[in-house]
């Protein structure tokens, strides 16, 4: 009898252990310490743009994504993980970036994300790494010179889904209409085919588009401040601290400024020093 009790007790203990293990053996991605996992794998996974010249654009000749944010992500990765650290890039759009971060598909997103109070409720932001400002892109010679012209002419303003730009523009130009496309290539096609009179987003992005499309110019100055931050899951505070520290070091040792010069010093008309200013 005593033997049976002992057997039952040990059976229960094993069962208990199994239940306990299955409860904590597969912790949700959100609960993992991403920094620790990245140190182990020597890899950081970044959500980046592939549709924006100057920030992150896919070069189809060698299948590499290139831009300021790509280089900065690589530099931050090396700061955090050491010289052998590898940055892995996953393409995101304005619409997919937040859900992909929430799903744990990426560790952090550096993808022209403006730090807004609403977004700060959902994610943790790094310190600002680029001070963009919202502006307009129009066809050379257009009668639209600024956001107020668009309002007065009841024009249509183009943007992309997931960005805050069209909403912000309509708040200033309530008589205009908005049309949002999937990405910047499509928004540009819509501008060229006359579906709207202006494309709105951040000045740096628009200067990139004007380089690709010489018949189009950035106009009207900036009308909303768009400070960019690297977004991470709220609970990943060790990662956030490491990223912030890496940004401080890269500014101090001149690497940040070197990357700013590399990508922006040839862009006529763009006050990138202002954007890089802390
Ligand atoms: N920076 C703006 C935003 O975060 C617009 C640019 C974008 O499409 O990312 O909504």
Whether 157 lines ligand 1, by a CB cut-off of 6 Å, is no
Q: Read off the tokens for 270.
A: 């763009």
What is the pTM (predicted TM-score) of this model? 0.88
- Whole-number Å distance between alpha carbons of 209 and 106: 27
Q: Model confidence over 90-142: pLDDT tens digits?
A: 999 999 999 999 999 999 999 999 999 999 999 999 999 999 999 999 999 99
Cα–ligand 1 centroid distance for 247 (angstroms): 21
pLDDT at 228: 98
Please report, in tens digits, the pLDDT of each residue of the chain (278 residues total).
Answer: 445 444 444 444 443 333 333 333 334 555 689 999 999 999 999 999 999 999 999 999 999 999 999 999 999 999 999 999 999 999 999 999 999 999 999 999 999 999 999 999 999 999 999 999 999 999 999 999 999 999 999 999 999 999 999 999 999 999 999 999 999 999 999 999 999 999 999 999 999 999 999 999 999 999 999 999 999 999 999 999 999 999 999 999 999 999 999 999 999 999 999 999 98
Whether 203 lines ligand 1, by a CB cut-off of 6 Å, is no
Whether 200 lines ligand 1, by a CB cut-off of 6 Å, is no
pLDDT at 17: 37
pLDDT at 25: 36
Task: Indicate the top mutation candidate among 47, 109, 113 to test ligand 1's pocket, ranked by most ligand atoms within 8 A of CB.
Answer: 113
Domains parsed from the chain with CATH numbers: 32-129+229-268 (3.40.190.10), 132-226 (3.40.190.10)
For ligand 1, atom 3, name the residue with the nearest CA.
163
For ligand 1, atom 10, name the residue with the nearest CA.
163
Helix or strand holding residue 206 (H, E): helix 203-212
Task: Indicate the top mutation candidate among 162, 167, 188, 209 to test ligand 1's pocket, ranked by most ligand atoms within 8 A of CB.
Answer: 162
Task: Indicate the top mutation candidate among 47, 57, 94 to test ligand 1's pocket, ranked by most ligand atoms within 8 A of CB.
Answer: 94
pLDDT at 153: 97
Helix segments in 128-271, DSSP class H: 147-152, 165-172, 184-192, 203-212, 237-252, 255-264
Cα–ligand 1 centroid distance for 113 (angstroms): 5
- Closest atom of ligand 1 to 112 CA is 9
pLDDT at 29: 56
Place of tokens 């993992």: 32
For ligand 1, atom 5, name the residue with the nearest CA.
163
Contact 235, 32 (CB under 8 A): no
- Whole-number Å distance between alpha carbons of 72 and 258: 10
Cα–ligand 1 centroid distance for 71 (angstroms): 19
**103 Cα distance to chain centroid:** 15
Q: Model confidence over 18-38: pLDDT tens digits?
A: 333 333 333 455 568 999 999
Helix or strand holding residue 10 (H, E): helix 2-24
pLDDT at 278: 84
């Amino acid at each position: 009898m005593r033997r049976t009790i002992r057997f039952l007790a040990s059976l229960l203990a094993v069962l208990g252990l199994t239940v306990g293990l299955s409860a904590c053996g597969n912790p949700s991605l959100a609960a993992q310490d991403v920094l620790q996992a990245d140190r182990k794998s020597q890899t950081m996974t970044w959500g980046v743009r592939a549709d924006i010249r100057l920030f992150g654009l896919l070069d189809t000749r060698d299948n590499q994504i290139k831009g300021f944010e790509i280089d900065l992500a690589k530099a931050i990765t090396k700061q955090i993980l050491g010289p052998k650290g590898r940055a892995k890039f996953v393409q995101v759009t304005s619409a997919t970036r937040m859900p992909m971060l929430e799903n744990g598909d990426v560790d952090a997103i550096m993808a022209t994300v403006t730090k807004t109070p609403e977004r700060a409720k959902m994610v943790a932001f790094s310190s600002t790494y680029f001070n963009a400002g919202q502006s307009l892109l129009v066809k050379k010679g257009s009668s639209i010179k600024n956001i107020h012209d668009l309002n007065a002419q009841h024009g249509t303003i183009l943007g992309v889904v997931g960005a805050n730009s069209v909403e912000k523009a309509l708040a200033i130009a309530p008589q205009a209409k908005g049309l949002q496309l999937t990405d910047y290539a499509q928004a540009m096609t819509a501008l060229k085919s006359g579906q709207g009179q202006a494309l709105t987003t951040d000045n740096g992005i628009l200067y990139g588009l004007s380089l690709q499309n010489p018949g189009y110019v950035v106009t009207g100055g900036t009308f909303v401040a768009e400070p960019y931050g690297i977004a991470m899951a709220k609970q990943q505070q060790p990662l956030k601290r490491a990223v912030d520290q890496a940004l401080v070091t890269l500014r101090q040792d001149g690497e940040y400024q070197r990357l700013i010069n590399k990508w922006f010093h040839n862009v006529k008309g763009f006050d990138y020093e202002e954007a890089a200013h802390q």
